[in-house]
Amino acid sequence: MIKLTIDGQEVEVAPGTTILEAARDELGIDIPHYCYHRDIGSDGNCRICLVEVNGNSGKLAISCQMPCGNDMKVETANDVVVKARKGVMEFLLANHPLDCTICDQAGECPLQEYSYEYGSAESRFVEHKRNKPKHTEFSDKVMFDAERCILCTRCVRFFEEVRDDRPLGVEGMGGESMISLGPNGPLTDPYQMNIIDICPVGALTSRDFRFKQRVWFMDFVDTVCPGCSRGCNISAGSYQGKLLRFTPRRNAEVNKSWMCDDGRLSYSDYNLTDRVRGARIDGQAAFLDSVGERLDALVGDGSGVAVLASTKSSCEDLFALRHWAESRGVTNFWHGAASWEADGFLKQADATPNTAGAQQLGYEPVPGDGPALRGLIVSGDVEVPPALLADLDFLVMQAVQESALTTEAAVIVLPARTAVEKKGTWVNSAGLAQAIAPAVDPGDGVPEDWALWRELSKKVEDWPSVRYVTAEMNAWLADRSTQTPLVAADS
Amino acid sequence: MKLSSVLSARFEKPDSHLLEGYRADGGYETFLSVLSEKRDPDELTALVKASGLRGRGGAGFSTGMKWSFVPKDTGKPVYLCVNGDESEPGTYKDRQILEFDPHALLEGVGIACYAIGSHKAYVYLRCEFQLGCERIQAAIDEAYAAGLFGKNIEGSGFDLDVHLTMGAGAYICGEETSLLNSIEGVRPYPRNKPPFPAVEGLFGCPTIVNNVETITNIPHIVKRGAEWHAGLGNSDDPGTRLWCVSGHVATRGVWEIETGYKLQDLIDGPCGGIRDGKKLKAVIPGGSSSKVLLPEEVAQVTMDTPGIRAFGSSLGSAAIIVLDEDTDMVDALVNLMKFYAHESCGQCTPCREGTPWIVKILVRINEGRGRLEDLELLDDLAVNIEGRTVCALADGACWPLTSILKKFRHEFVAKIPSAASTEEVVGA
Amino acid sequence: MFDKEIVEELEAIRSRFPFPKAAMVPVLRRVQELRGWLDSDAQAWVAELLSVKPIEVHEVVSFYPMFYGQPVGRHVLHVCRTLSCDSCGNKELWDHLETKLGVDRNGTTDDGRFTLKAAECLASCGTSPVMLINNKRHENLSLSQVDDLLEGCS
């Protein structure tokens, strides 16, 4: 182990740790940085992470690359370092266009953020700023503004390091340098939009999100991408109840700092109209008491009845449903499936987020030729195999949107929430249980799915909030000796 | 002032670049005896270190010490790269060796490679040296043909391959890590250090980068001994160097002189004084990346490292630029700062953004649109650039900037209109 | 794109290095010599020879001042603009050429004969006025000598 002093405090780190990492992980000190990114590495070009090592104020060291050495004395914020930082900030801002008022990055811009501490209220640069092309279409997803670019090369290195490809390069020399597609055509990489997140300025922006909304007016919720069984952690951004974007949240174990473009853009799948609101029996609005009675009558002793649940449902939704159904004698618990093409990186073939959770809770893949059914209870956003619908005495649909099945076939229709309106837990394909949170509220007449079954089970007092469901579910799982304990959702 | 002829002895000889003449003058004997006597490589390195030889590219680092940084037994090949990118303004001495005594360089390459355990050397020349490239390639071909390079040289068991490669017009490629990237075929950005090239250099392998003139000293030092070299010129900074003079002297040229001579003697003597009977105004003594000297300083300074440091300057690439009384120093500084801004590779923030900014301010001052506060601003920008960048190009830019601003401040002030507001001078 | 002889020559250059990519600059110089400038087809051809992607060649070509990524005249003139030359005759040389050719910095004459480029220090600091014509060095020039040299360039 290496022992050194940072800002007067002694720390001990493993050999190979950089000063920046040591400061961050041992002391919670955030040394400003642009070209360094923890999942791409460092290029050592921005120079804003300079620190003083062993009193050498003449030549400062870049903390993002300098390895910690024994008995090193590091200053991350003394006068010399702060002046150097301000100097770098000033150089970055010298030719930077005054675009904040029209730049999408505003409000979540590391250049703005470090400007507060290290920039100057008045600029000393009174010359003409250098001009470069301002809206180059790198693809139908990504827009590039060369004037804003600080040439940190995170974008170029993302493709090189993470995607093993070279769709972008740096052309030219000196102050005329520019990030460029060069002779390549537009970006086609299915992870290209990650460069938007890692760009520390507004040089790379999302064409999908362009000019839609200011981030400080938006609401952001930490949740998980509903796109596939990888379970990339995301931040879901919405404005006035409408989803505007998904962006990845860092999770060292699951997705590092990345997500696929398809998952990222899937937010638009969830701004739906024509929702099922309130309960109906025989096409007429009904109270849940009546629904409960009718359901009990239909289900009878549970024989010949199957539950078909969505693997977008939360574990708590699935447990609450199972709890109600089991108590009525139902023994067939099936889950549906949806798939797309895996891409060899993050995107997995299972296009739903909670298949593993469903299976841990005793749901099996819907059989191709199962037992003859007299009743089917469909819960959530799941495709119903037509074969199951033949010769049914009754169909119950707990659905998100109206369809032929809800308007013409189902005797009982109940509302369901979308994947981004849930609070609970999903288990990804690696068996990791992750908390999900509602990013938007569906409005009147759409309670949480588990809450609906809570009502029908008359367990309102036992389960005042979802974490009580989680607790009972975990106990139930323990009894059945599942391998993975599940995580409690935040209340 | 002792003119010497160690490095330049053969320059004036007819066909000095051909192998025949070189061998007739005893060329390659030292290299071959190193091989046949199976000299201990580490002993050779120690010898070079004891000789006090410093790098002649501009940085002046102890050559022997640099060689000693090469780790032995890494299992990786060791490379020698000869830096022939000579692009420091005012410098044209390596060219003389390349064009008029290429085999002397190549013999130095042979011995240096043997000492550091290298079997492959690249001679990197700037592409603008058309004649130099031709002659070095021809010399390499001659050496191979004569069995001086290649496998098992003269039965010694020592293999050596030497190749010519080149740049394409960028001053930054004279920086050793940029040179390595240039050879590797990528954009020639300098690299952050650590790691240092001696440990991780060309293709990730231990590499020594030495200047053309530095390497050319090696056969002489090995032949005549460390003490001989240590006794030449100034004892703290010994040796015989090629000094280039350009600018407003009557006779410009390259002279070989032992260190420690008086600069005034060179200007008054071989250079014939200032041309057209003019008076001296300033001398930039070590290539443009050195601090300017005033006439009274020129009169006293001795050309060795301690001597010139006493006047706050440096020997750099031994390129002496002489400026006469008619020189507009603001103009001269604009010219030099444009050089640095044009040559900035653009990798790191302070240099990429700072050098063009400095040019813009200086141009404005030169055109009569300056403000007094611009002078403080320039000095402060220099503080924020020097020692904050990946490589020393930016440092090199700061030295003429701050020294000319300091020593010729009156010329800048004279161009600044009095009591002008920023809006008035900068304009729309 | 090239005759067998040239291809062999370029492959020989490539073999000087342990990795083909390292032959980038010498190969590009030779290709530029043959084709006048480095058009995108030439760059793609070099990329294939060196087992790299075309963008990697583009990045290098666009960096170096002596690589021409745009068409140039049949004769490229380089005039050093740095202090030692500028203060000893090259300023006048430049003005003379600018006027005579009717172009400015990096411009090409209408008849496609000359491209005039300002270069940084060419290491001819003691022999100015100096210029390169197609990389060949001409030192200690008088303006009439310059005119003669240009005359000789068809």
Q: Which are the contacts of A260, defined by CB distance < 8 A and separation ≥ 6? A: A190, A191, A227, A232, A343, A345, A346, A347
Q: Between helices C54-63 and C40-49, what is the axis angle to 10°?
A: 120
Kindly report the number of other CB atoms within 10 A of residue C61's CB atom: 24
What is the distance between the alpha carbons of residues A98 and B370, in angstroms, rounded to a whole number?
24
**Two tokens, residue C136:** 């060949």
Q: Which are the contacts of C93, defined by CB distance < 8 A and separation ≥ 6? A: C79, C128, C129, C131, C141, C143, C146
Residues of chain C with CATH 1.10.10: 4-63
- Contact of A183 with chain C, judged by CB distance below 8 Å, is answered with yes
The structural domains of chain B, with segments of one domain joined by +, span 19-230, 234-324, 329-426
* Average pLDDT of every residue of chain B: 96
Q: How many residues does chain B have?
A: 428
According to the model, what pLDDT value does residue B427 have?
A: 64
Q: Between helices B329-343 and B393-407, what is the axis angle to 10°?
A: 170
Question: How far C62 CA lies from chain B's nearest CA (Å)?
Answer: 9
What is the distance between the alpha carbons of residues A452 and A112, in angstroms, rounded to a whole number?
46
Residue B185 C-alpha from the chain's centroid: 23
Whether A153 is covered by a domain: the verdict is no
The highest-level CATH class for domain B329-426 is mainly alpha
Instruction: Return the percentage of chain A with pLDDT > 70, whole number.
Output: 98
* Average pLDDT of every residue of chain A: 95
What is the distance between the alpha carbons of residues B19 and A96, in angstroms, rounded to a whole number?
57
Burial environment of residue A243 by CB neighbours within 10 A (0 to 12, 13 to 18, 19 or more): buried
Does pLDDT of A489 surpass 70? no
Whether A266 is covered by a domain: the verdict is no
> Is the CB of B194 less than 8 angstroms away from the CB of A66?
yes
**Two tokens, residue A161:** 């390091």
Phi-psi region of C138 (alpha: psi -120 to 50; beta: other; left: phi over 0): beta
Question: How far A196 CA lies from chain B's nearest CA (Å)?
Answer: 21
> Is the CB of C59 less than 8 angstroms away from the CB of A182?
yes
Distances (CA, A) of C50 to A180, B204, C24, C130: 21, 19, 7, 36
Interface of C with B in 89-118 (CB under 8 A): none
Hey, what's the torsion of the CAs at A308, A311, A315, A318, to 10 degrees? Answer: -10
Mutate to test the interface with B, among A33, A86, A91 (most CBs of B within 10 A): A91
Q: Which residue of C has its CA nearest to A181?
A: C55
What is the distance between the alpha carbons of residues B418 and B371, in angstroms, rounded to a whole number?
8
What is the distance between the alpha carbons of residues A244 and A239, in angstroms, rounded to a whole number?
7
Helix (H) or strand (E) holding A219: strand A219-224
What is the distance between the alpha carbons of residues C9 and C12, in angstroms, rounded to a whole number?
5
Superfamily of domain B19-230 in the CATH hierarchy: NADH-ubiquinone oxidoreductase 51kDa subunit (3.40.50.11540)
Q: Which residues of chain A have a CB within 8 Å of the CB of C53?
A: 166
According to the model, what pLDDT value does residue C105 have?
A: 83
Which of B346, B384, B389 has its CB closest to that of A177?
B346
Q: Which are the contacts of B179, defined by CB distance < 8 A and separation ≥ 6? A: B81, B83, B85, B124, B167, B173, B188, B209
The counts of H helices and E strands in chain B are 19, 10
Strand partners, A457: none
- Architecture of the B234-324 domain: Roll (3.10)
Last residue of a domain, one of A44, A76, A92: A92
**pLDDT 10s digits, B335-376:** 999 999 999 999 999 999 999 999 999 999 999 999 999 999
Q: Which are the contacts of B398, defined by CB distance < 8 A and separation ≥ 6? A: B382, B385, B386
Last residue of a domain, one of A61, A92, A123: A92
Distances (CA, A) of A22 to A14, A27, A38, A62, A74: 9, 7, 13, 13, 11
Instruction: Return the percentage of chain B with pLDDT > 70, whole number.
Output: 98
What is the distance between the alpha carbons of residues B86 and B132, in angstroms, rounded to a whole number?
11
Question: Chains with 3 or more CB pairs closer than 8 angstroms to A?
Answer: B, C
- What DSSP designation does B371 have? -
Phi-psi region of A380 (alpha: psi -120 to 50; beta: other; left: phi over 0): left
Question: What mean pLDDT do residues A454-473 have?
Answer: 93
SS3 A65: coil
Q: What is the CATH number of the domain that holds A73?
A: 3.10.20.740
- In sign, the C-alpha dihedral spanning C4, C9, C12, C16 is negative
Question: What mean pLDDT do residues B1-9 have?
Answer: 92
Interface of C with A in 23-82 (CB under 8 A): 40, 43-44, 53-56, 58-59, 62-65
Superfamily of domain C75-151 in the CATH hierarchy: Glutaredoxin (3.40.30.10)
Q: What is the CATH number of the domain that holds A413?
A: 3.40.50.740
Q: How many domains does chain A have?
A: 2
DSSP conformation letters of B133-160: HHHHHHHHHHHHHTTSSBSSGGGSS--B
Last residue of a domain, one of A77, A92, A107: A92
Topology classification of domain C4-63: Arc Repressor Mutant, subunit A (1.10.10)
Strand partners, A115: none
**B174 — pLDDT class (breaks 50, 70, 90):** very high
Domain of residue A65, residue span? 2-92
Burial environment of residue B219 by CB neighbours within 10 A (0 to 12, 13 to 18, 19 or more): buried
Whole-structure pTM over 0.90, yes or no? Answer: yes
Interface of B with C in 172-191 (CB under 8 A): 182-188
Q: Which are the contacts of A343, defined by CB distance < 8 A and separation ≥ 6? A: A190, A260
**pLDDT 10s digits, C11-37:** 999 999 999 999 999 999 999 999 999
Question: What mean pLDDT do residues A291-300 have?
Answer: 96
Mutate to test the interface with C, among A151, A160, A166, A189 (most CBs of C within 10 A): A166
Expressed in percent and rounded to 5, the helix, strand and coil fractions of chain C are 50, 10, 40
**pLDDT 10s digits, A106-148:** 999 999 999 999 998 889 999 999 999 999 999 999 999 999 9
**A478 — pLDDT class (breaks 50, 70, 90):** confident
According to the model, what pLDDT value does residue A491 have?
A: 37
Q: Which residues of chain A have a CB within 8 Å of the CB of B192?
A: 44, 62, 65
Whether A417 is covered by a domain: the verdict is yes
What is the distance between the alpha carbons of residues B217 and B97, in angstroms, rounded to a whole number?
11
According to the model, what pLDDT value does residue A441 have?
A: 95
Phi-psi region of B336 (alpha: psi -120 to 50; beta: other; left: phi over 0): alpha
Does pLDDT of A490 surpass 80? no
**Two tokens, residue B130:** 């058309």
Q: Which residue of B has its CA nearest to C60?
A: B187
Q: Which residue of A has its CA nearest to C43?
A: A183
According to the model, what pLDDT value does residue B406 have?
A: 98
A186 upstream amide cis, omega within 30 of 0 = no
What is the distance between the alpha carbons of residues B62 and B208, in angstroms, rounded to a whole number?
12
SS3 A442: coil
**Two tokens, residue B372:** 């007094």
Kindly report the number of other CB atoms within 10 A of residue B414's CB atom: 9
According to the model, what pLDDT value does residue A483 have?
A: 52
**pLDDT 10s digits, A379-396:** 999 999 999 998 899 999
Whether A221 is covered by a domain: the verdict is no
Q: Which residues of chain B have a CB within 8 Å of the CB of A83?
A: 383-384
Does pLDDT of B238 surpass 50? yes
Residues of chain C with CATH 3.40.30.10: 75-151
Question: What mean pLDDT do residues C79-97 have?
Answer: 97
Q: Determine contact, residues B382/A211, Cβ cutoff 8 Å.
A: no
Q: Which are the contacts of B327, defined by CB distance < 8 A and separation ≥ 6? A: B248, B281, B282, C87
Q: Which residues of chain C have a CB within 8 Å of the CB of A173?
A: 62-65
Residue B264 C-alpha from the chain's centroid: 22
Pick from B230, B180, B184: nearest CA to B54: B230
**B72 — pLDDT class (breaks 50, 70, 90):** confident
**Two tokens, residue A154:** 């995170």
